[in-house]
Amino acid sequence: MSTPNFLHRSPTAENPNPSTTPPAAPLIPDEPKKRRRIWPWITLVVVVAVLCITVPPAIAVVRAATAASNAKAALERARVHAAALDMVAVGYDLTEARTDIDFARTMLQGVGFWRDMPIIGVQIRGLEDAAAAGSGTLDAAGDLAHVFSSLTEAMNGGAQALGSLNTGIAPTRRFQDLTTDEKRDVLRTLSRALPDIRVARDKIDLALELWNRVPQNELISPIRTALQPLADALPALQKSLDAAAPLLEVGLPLAGADQPQHTLVLLQNADELRPAGGFIGTLGAVTADAGDLKQFDFFDVYKIDGAVSSSWKEIPPPTLAKQLGVTSWYLRDANWSPDFPTSADRVLSSYTGEISQITHAPVADAPTSVVALEPGFFSALLKLTGPLTVDGTTYDSDTFFDKIEYDVEVGFAKDHISVEQRKQLLSHIGTALVDRLRGLPASKWSDLFASISTALNHKQIQIFSRDAEILAAADRYGWSGRALPTTQDFVWVVDANLAALKTDGVMKKAVSYQLDATNPSEAKATVTLTYENTNRVIDWRHTRYRSYTRVYVPEGSELISSAGSMKDDLHNTGGIFVPGTVDVTKELGKTVFGAFWAIEPGKTGTLSFTYKLPPSVGEKIAQGTYRLDWPKQAGADKTQLTVQALFGKNVLSAEPPESKEKWGDARYEVQTDSAMDRKFEITF
């Protein structure tokens, strides 16, 4: 019987051994093996994604750091070129540095969402702010470089700066070595550069504000290292430019930038206080031409007044005539108004009038400007220059005024110097001081500008001119000593030393102002002066204090009562206190209370005025605001001021603020001093 065909299989390549049973096919795929094939791809994708996210920002930060380093190198080159006075090269260097910093900023802006990350984002945003500050600084520095480049062109006779004049000045020459025409061109170039200086000042202000917002401890080293020199220079640049722009605006005309300027310089002795400053014991005729002092002569005021004692017939103010026993209003007493422009104009008229009487001819090159200087300014200058040795005597910032007073009041006689010549010493000291200031290195210029600005703001320097533009500039910066207008409440205490020698120098002065405005429509105030004569003996320099004191208050104020005024000092009334009268007048748009009083050596005196304020003050208070202006008297630098005000409502805010423990009630109380004009503003 044959076997069926379907039971037989032929050998094949798939089953070469028909006797062997092939293994069964797997029922489940090999999953681990497939995973092993997929994970490398997943890892690669993740790595690529991470690299795509992190590498571009990292590259951006690296490129930003490289650009910052390049900026630093450009700034180093700028420093070298500036030292060589190659301001054109400085301009190129600053432009390159600015380009590098801007590139760094662009790189940092390309880091995407990393800017918003908690830690990294702070770093990146800090770098952006730092770069912005650096960019602003370099922008301002470029403007300054343009200014200095213009000056360099002037020094080299560049046609662009000097028009048709070609001086060919070597850049290594000093200013004092130049001709008058060369100096004038330099000053005119400075005048034309004023707009650029103001723009640079504004940019420096912005750059400093940006830099102060940067978290310094979080900056990466390359950018911090590149920008730190700029940041270090910012405060000094800001200080210099803030002072330089207004000083140049006012000072260049007085320096004779366009034409010779004739100025009368008053040395006002604040130890013998007069309304517009100290007593005018010494004055000088100064002619400035293109920054050069062509005339610099100082002399004793009595040399002029004495020569016209029998011919000068100007009628003096009644108080001067009464207290000093004078029948004529001489130059030495011309600063009787506390408004400096008024007094300075009177000084000019008295000077030219008295000189004309002496010479029997009009005054040649008559001064048209007045600059008044107080002793505090010279102390500041000597701190800057260091001690001066003049005619064998050394003067420093602490002792110079005492030594000068002794020399001109007592020492001159011992040295057999005539009364008329006793103040020639001041010319010698002035010349030595000017020479020392001219020789100051550039690193000290910002300190010099700051000293002058401080003196102007403290009324240790006051400026007046019959030239309308010069006076307008001085007014604009508050340097003319002009009486302030009354905006609401106002108090101005003005002393006039009358035959009390230099006793203001030993007086300890305190002034308090008490306001009761609980009922605004009936607001009243009391001004109390408490002065102590700390000197206990009468000598060549100090005696009993004698003052005619005026208190300027809002126009329309009504005097209620007064205490402390005297008919004369105790020496002249036999030791008996004889009450005096109070003069009530109007002047400078104010109501004025004036009284004479005197204080014996070692004693304390008090003078007070109580008055009702005008309705205009009460109306503002009823509306919830109050402002008190308190100008300082020029020369009165150390008076203690106390303001106490009581309102019908609690104080909400005040400037200057009270100490914190005094907050939360209807009373306002602060203490300050008379170093400068003060303003008090309150809301409730």
Please say if the pLDDT value at position 106 is more than 80: no
Strands 369-373 and 461-465: antiparallel
Confidence of residue 457 (pLDDT cuts 50, 70, 90): very high
53 compared with 179, residue with greater pLDDT: 179
**What pLDDT is attached to residue 554?**
98
Q: What local confidence, expressed as pLDDT, does residue 134 receive?
A: 54
- 166 pLDDT band, cuts 50/70/90, is very low
Is the predicted pLDDT of residue 680 greater than 50, yes or no? yes
Distance CA 260, CA 255 (A): 8
Q: Tokens in use for 246?
A: 């207004």
Task: Give, in degrees to the nearest 5, the angle at Cα 376 between 371 and 380.
Answer: 100
Rg (CA), the chain: 39
pTM, to two decimals: 0.75
Model confidence at 105, pLDDT cuts 50, 70, 90, reads low
- Is 314 a residue whose pLDDT tops 70? yes
SS3 79: helix
Percent of the chain with pLDDT over 70: 69
Confidence of residue 121 (pLDDT cuts 50, 70, 90): very low
Helix (H) or strand (E) holding 354: helix 340-359
Distance CA 173, CA 178 (A): 7
pLDDT tens digits, one per residue of 558-612? 999 999 999 999 999 999 999 999 999 999 999 999 999 999 999 999 999 999 9
Distance CA(524)–CA(518), nearest Å, equals: 10
pLDDT in tens, 389-425: 888 888 888 887 787 777 777 666 666 566 656 667 7
| Nearest-angstrom CA–CA distance, 141 and 139 | 5
Distances (CA, A) of 8 to 5, 218, 618: 6, 88, 131
Q: Which of 111, 108, 114, 72 is nearest to 93 (CA)?
A: 72
For the ranges 79-88, 360-369, 392-401, 662-671, which has the lowest average pLDDT?
79-88
Q: How many Cβ atoms are within 10 Å of 390's Cβ, its own excluded?
A: 17
Per-chain mean pLDDT for the chain? 80
